[in-house]
Structure formats: structure tokens, C-alpha cells
Structure 1
Amino acid sequence: MSWLPLDDEDETPYGEYADHRVRERPNPKGNRPRTKRRPEHADAIVAMITGVDRGRYTALVAEGADPASPVERTVVAARARELRRTPIVIGDRVQLVGDTSGAEGALCRIIGLEERRTLLRRSADDSDRFERVMVSNADQMLIVVAAANPEPRVRLVDRYLVAAYDAGIRPLICITKTDLADPEPFLAHFAALEVPIFRSAPGTWPLAEIREALAGRTTVFVGHSGVGKSTLINELVPEAERATGHVNEVTGRGRHTSSSSVALRAATPGVPAGDSGWVIDTPGVRSFGLGHVTSDSILRGFTDLAALIEECPRGCTHQADAPDCELDAAIADGRLDAAGALRVDSLRRLLK
């Protein structure tokens, strides 16, 4: 065994640490070292997401968004690697680079997400705190419910209302199949709310009133499977050709026909295309979890009870066993009728 010579001062084998003996590790890929600096993408254009399908995003480039091609067009995009953990949903405004011509086979890239104005969320159930983003930048929620077949569910509509108020969007109600049952007993549960209501039956859709409410706004349609949501959208947007289903006569449940969300232009007669509204169709659901929603958001969904809730003692849980709860006092002295008592019951179930 041979030994390296020692340094006279510290008796350290100087050859072991000599600068000329240090071997620099070559870059195995033969390219430049990686850097955290990213291109600024000054040429990125903004588009609206109108469809999502297995990692591919359909986006609409607005007229004038790209000076080189001012015509409104649809493009297909994939998200950049740095956005792989960022949920991108219908209604999002995104920044695009690459081939945004919209030609067949062209694919551009999503490199950024614009700030969202509103965000509609849901969870799998009330015990699940993980929120699932449904739609962004919506202005309104149209709750479609049938008067019968399937039977209307008051508490499901309450959940929709809470989700709408939590998202900061305006709720609307459209009740269908009014030829099968009188919708007024059901609608009485929401009479105290300032929520516009549209009544319809096959062949008697109030299309003019609904189109007026949709004009210039982005409206997300929600509802139980089988209530006629897709049928209504086909009336408003004939070229949509959304699949429609039927209600099982044994179970009374509707069959899922819309498997994914999509944004459609809701043209209004006499309104320029750029000023027309957007309709967002969502898959029919039989439950709507609110595990991510706070108690304050739930209370905001019951505007008809707000004045009574303000009179409750500080720290009141508003449950049936809460001492001196003003809701119980209002039921006992007749300030709340039978419909109001049912609203209190809905509120307590959601809070619980």
C-alpha cells in the first residue's frame, strides 16, 4: 500500500484535497443546468374553459384576445406540468401559449390561471372535508326540480341554496313537470326567499323569461337526475343535443345522462353573440355534500330566518336543545307557520 506525502504544516495528505485533483461531475444529459426561472410568456392569450375530457381542455378564445386572429374560435389545450396539481374546471379563464389556431390536430398549452370571481364547490358527503371544485366564475345557479316523477326534495334544494350563497352566486329555481302535480305546496317552503321561480311543463317552457334571466350571465344548471335539466337546455340551446333519459318506474330515480360538465352559449334573440349568456350543464346528482361549508355559510342560505337568528343569544347553536333559541320561540308563539317550522328543521339538519 502506498501513502500520499504529507503537508509540512498540518500533516494532511495534501494530494487528497488538492484543487487540481477535484473532478467535476459532468452533466449526464449534456444540456444546460436546470433553473427555476420560467419564461414570462408575454404572448399568452386568455381563453375560457368550456369542456374537460381526460386531460384535454376545450377553450374558447374570445374575439380580439389574439390580435393576430381576432375571430372567436375553439381550441384544444393540455395543462403545463407546473399546473398538474391545480384543478382546472368549466368557466375558468386560463392563459394559453403555443398553437392557438384551432386547426384540426393543433394543441396549445395552459400555463396560467386567471383569478376566479366565484367558485362552486361540493363534497362527496357531509363527513368529507375535501372539496371538489365544480364550476368557476358563475354568476347564477338555476336549480331544476320536478313537481313529480321524481318527487321533489326540499332538503336537496336547501343544499343547493347553501352552496350558491357560499359561492357568492345568485340562485334561481325552475320547477318542471307541473302537469303531473301541483308545485305550490313544495314551493311554499321557499316563499319567504327572494328567489325567482320559473314554472314549466312539457310544451309550455317559459323560455322568454328564462332567456331574459340568463342574458349576459354565466348560469350553472343543477338538479336531481331525471328532472328535465337536459331537456330544458336543449330547448334553450337546440344545437347542444344533450342526451335525455327517463325515470325508473320502480325506484322513482332518474337515469344519469350528462356524464360531464360543459359550457354552452345561450343565444338570446336580439342580443349580440358577445353579450349572450352561458349555460353550464352539470351531471345530475342525488346528493350534494356540504362538508367543506362553514356554519356561517349555511346560515346565509336561510335569509328568511336571518332576523330571528340575530335575536338568538350569543353562541347559540340554533339546534332543538339550544337554550333560549329564538327559532323555537317563533314556532311556539306562531310567528313561524308550518312552512317556517320545516325551514327551521332543514336548517338544523344542515348545521348538524
Structure 2
Amino acid sequence: MSPKSTGRYSEHDVEHYDRPRRHTRPRTKERPTYDDAVDGVVVTVDRGRFTLLVEDRTVLAMKARPLGRKGVVVGDRVRVVGDTSGDDGSLARIVEVRERATTLRRTADDDDPIERVIVANADQLVVVIALADPDPQPRLIDRALVAAYDARMQPLLCLTKADLRDPETLLHTYRSLGVPWVVTQRGGDLGELRDRLRGRTSVLLGSSGVGKSTLVNALVPHARRDVGVVNAVTGRGRHTSTSAFMLALPERGDGPGGWIIDTPGIRSFGLAHVEPEQLIEAFPDLDEMTEDCPRGCTHGTDEPECGLDEAVADGTADPERVASFRRLLAARSESAY
């Protein structure tokens, strides 16, 4: 049964196009050294073909057979051989994937043990949330934050359509976590958002219809990303971005522009790969309070003798911060739909 028919993978997942290779012995023990390989970065993936940025030109490439089932995703830094001219009809080969600094991952659902990497080597996750049209999905926001903390990426909330609703209600929920935020509205100034993106590689993640593509087009005028509308009956947006795409932000006189990675709209975010100890490590102040917890303590609300409860009781921990952390912890097993 194909991945597409099981629902675990769609045509936009890299794994959908990675087919099993025959196990054959190499004809010689001497393997190529690829001394002539050049460096590149993957900017998009489309049906088994990879668009790379090599120096100042765009190069189309395929994955070399020796890489086998090793996934190559947007943001990967790779070594390439073959025709790297970027001319029409040219095709290079990716022969090596450099070690990743970060990997933003998810699973198809919470019972699926198979992880998939969404993007690599990004240092900031920008969770784009519309304040209205469509309404915010707090559980999906929580799950995105969990994925960011697990990946050791800096999260940023970007609240759009502030002309339709006051952002304060939503901000109150996340203030105790210390998550930074920016607020935007239709036709408004994006100076604060640009400052947050400057010099960084940022992934834009959000549901369809929240205004993500509109932001991308405003930040990178030549991007021409399709803009969708929200269905008045379902309250959900139409998918307009069909694959992740990495774009260079225009350089500014006072510093580098940075990079943004636009991703397809999401409706769920499986977190089967995240363990409680991984999540609490993202909160050093709370982690320190759990040193004397019983073995196997998940630090959840119903755990007996959890150090977080003791810290709240003696006044050394902020109750709202502990409650917010436990909400994220619970988001690992709650439905995001």
C-alpha cells in the first residue's frame, strides 16, 4: 500500500518519493572522494528534485544513489557534483548532506513512531496566528511551541489581522512562557517583524488562511506566493503553498536580511517524538526545580511529589508559568484538530 493511500504521507512529503533501493554490493572498495564537489543549500523540494542555491545561481539536482533513503529537506547544506551551471536542462547530484544544526520535526499523528523532518538548520520558528478569520487554534499553537523547544529553536508568535480583534486575550495566555511576539494588521508596518527576522533563518508555520503568504509577499516582494481565502462555512483556509520554500530577505543598510522558509498550511502537528524531559530542558528555571522529582516523573498536573508543585507551594515558582508549561506538556497528547 502506498504512503499516499495510508494517509501517513502526502505528495508534499519527501518520504513519498523515496523508494526502496536494491541492496547490492559495491563493485569496488574504493569509494568516490568527490573532491570537486561544491557547497549548496536546498531551497525547495518538488517530487524528488531539489532546487539548490549554489553561490549566486539556482541549480536543479537529484539525490545520488549512495545516499539511499537518507532524506534531504529544505534548509539542508549539501555537497553537489555534476553540472552546477544552473543552465536550462542541467542536473547536478547531491552526494553529501552536512550535519544539521537543528531539525524541525513532526509525526503524522501521536501514535505514529515515524518522524519526518520539515526543515533543517533554521534557528527561529515563527508561529503565524490570525486573531480572527480564521479564529486562533490554541492547541495547535501549543504544539508548534513544543516542536520549537524540542528542536532548540527560538519561537516567535506573529499575530496577524489585529485590525479584526484585540490581541491581548491571546497574548495573556503566552506571556508567562516568555515567548516573544509581534502584532501585524492588513497594510500595516512590518518593521518590528523584519527586525525579529534580520540575520536569522526563520520558519513560518501556521494554518491555511492566517495570512502567512501575504506576509511573505510583503517581506520578499518578488516571492509571488499564492494567497488563499477562508471558507465561510468551515472557517478553514485553502492550502495555497504546496511545498516549503526558502527565500532570502532583502538586505538592509544596517545589517543582513536573513532567510525565511514558507511552509504549507498545517492542520495537525504530531508530537510522538517529544519526551517530557526534552521539553522541560527548554525551561532551565523549571528544570532546576525538578531535580528531586521521583524517578519517571513527567512533571504533569497529576504527578505525585513533583518538584514543580513544591516550588509553587513555597513561592519559588510562578504558578502561571508552571501551569503554562504543563499545558504545553499536555498538548503532546491532545488532539490538535
Q: TM-score, normalised by structure 1?
A: 0.80
Task: Count matched residues.
Answer: 308
> 2: CA distance between counterparts of 1:82 and 1:159?
35
Amino acid at match of 1:41: Y
The change in CA–CA distance for 1:132 and 1:314 in structure 2 (over 3 A counts) is same
For the 8 Å contact 1:331–1:341, the answer to whether it is kept is no
For the 8 Å contact 1:55–1:78, the answer to whether it is kept is yes
In the alignment, structure 1 residue 344 sits paired with structure 2 residue 337: no
Deviations 1:122-147 (A, max 9, x none): 10111111001110111111110111
Alignment correspondent of 2:233: 250
In the alignment, structure 1 residue 57 sits paired with structure 2 residue 50: yes
Alignment correspondent of 1:81: 65
- Give the 5 Å matches for 1:1-352: 34-62=27-55, 72-205=56-189, 207-270=190-253, 275-301=256-282, 305-306=286-287, 309=290, 312-327=293-308, 341=323, 343-350=325-332
> What SS does structure 2 have at the residue aligned with 1:191?
helix
> 1: CA distance between counterparts of 2:51 and 2:112?
30
Q: Percent identity among equivalent residues?
A: 53
> 1: CA distance between counterparts of 2:200 and 2:47?
28
> What SS does structure 1 have at the residue aligned with 2:142?
helix
> What SS does structure 2 have at the residue aligned with 1:224?
coil
> How far off is 1:266 after superposition?
0.8
> What SS does structure 2 have at the residue aligned with 1:232?
helix
> How far off is 1:231 after superposition?
0.6
> How far off is 1:345 after superposition?
3.7
Deviations 1:4-36 (A, max 9, x none): xxxxxxxxxxxxxxxxxxxxxxxxxxxxx9213
The change in CA–CA distance for 1:148 and 1:337 in structure 2 (over 3 A counts) is farther
> 2: CA distance between counterparts of 1:192 and 1:226?
28
The change in CA–CA distance for 1:252 and 1:328 in structure 2 (over 3 A counts) is farther
For the 8 Å contact 1:188–1:339, the answer to whether it is kept is no
Indicate the RMSD between aligned Cα atoms, in angstroms: 2.5
For the 8 Å contact 1:318–1:348, the answer to whether it is kept is no
Amino acid at match of 1:278: W
> How far off is 1:325 after superposition?
3.3
For the 8 Å contact 2:176–2:321, the answer to whether it is kept is no
> What SS does structure 1 have at the residue aligned with 2:172?
helix
For the 8 Å contact 1:118–1:139, the answer to whether it is kept is yes
For the 8 Å contact 1:327–1:344, the answer to whether it is kept is no
Structure 1's consecutive aligned runs of 4 or more residues displaced over 4 angstroms after TM superposition are 301-314, 326-340
Amino acid at match of 1:191: R
Q: TM-score, normalised by structure 2?
A: 0.83
> How far off is 1:193 after superposition?
2.5
> 1: CA distance between counterparts of 2:313 and 2:209?
39
> 2: CA distance between counterparts of 1:307 and 1:181?
38
> 2: CA distance between counterparts of 1:181 and 1:284?
22
In structure 2, stretches of 5+ residues that fail to align are: 1-25
Moved more, 188-197 or 328-337: 328-337
> 1: CA distance between counterparts of 2:137 and 2:292?
29
> How far off is 1:221 after superposition?
0.6
> What SS does structure 2 have at the residue aligned with 1:264?
strand
For the 8 Å contact 2:177–2:325, the answer to whether it is kept is no
Q: Which structure has the bigger radius of gyration?
A: 1
> 2: CA distance between counterparts of 1:225 and 1:333?
44
Deviations 1:179-236 (A, max 9, x none): 222211111111023322100111114x222222222211111011111111111110
Moved more, 171-180 or 293-302: 293-302
Alignment correspondent of 2:14: none
The change in CA–CA distance for 1:301 and 1:151 in structure 2 (over 3 A counts) is farther
